[in-house]
Amino acid sequence: MPAIAPFRSVLVAFALTVIGAAMIAAPATTKAQANTESNVKTGPSGLPLPRFVSLKSGRVNMRVGPGISYAVNWMYLKSGLPVEIIQEYDNWRRVRDAEGAEGWINQALLSGRRTGIAAPWFKGKQAAIELFATPQKEARPVVQVEPGAIGSIKACNGDWCEMEFAGYSGWINQSLVWGAYPGETVKE
């Protein structure tokens, strides 16, 4: 009997050590999981990076650096064109367009209005992109949109986006829109 008591105390001490270690490690694991789940990077503006915006003006210079002393490497002539902000510096935003071109644009020339481009990767190819009356593949088609057409995003539910193209409103599969992230929800 006396030989069992020391073994029991060692076993109890070991069990308490394991339980204590598990209790200490559990919050760290939970915190790490929470950080991974909310792995949203924010810029100096406090807004998420990356994010989509659109060009406010019909004439916007994209520069090679964040300031007017940097050379212009591209001029956009289409207001409402969606761009993706990937970096912020002072009041300059590093953006990427649908073709992958990157450069810096002053924030005053950007709008939070969400727009999207219908499947720009199919531009120049024979592709029919349907705009549906409801967010379902079986829904009634409203109109066909050409690849590369720019429209206003009204809402996205993570699978479908409600958009307006040249006065026609309807739903387009979100995977066919450059201007909304996969699974992203957007509300007007």
Average pLDDT, integer, range 144-155: 96
* Reported pTM: 0.78
pLDDT 10s digits, 68-125:
999 999 999 999 999 999 999 999 999 999 999 999 999 999 999 999 999 999 988 9
Tokens coding 118: 């219908």
Residue whose C-alpha is closest to residue 94's, from 124, 74, 77, 120:
74
d(CA 59, CA 149): 19
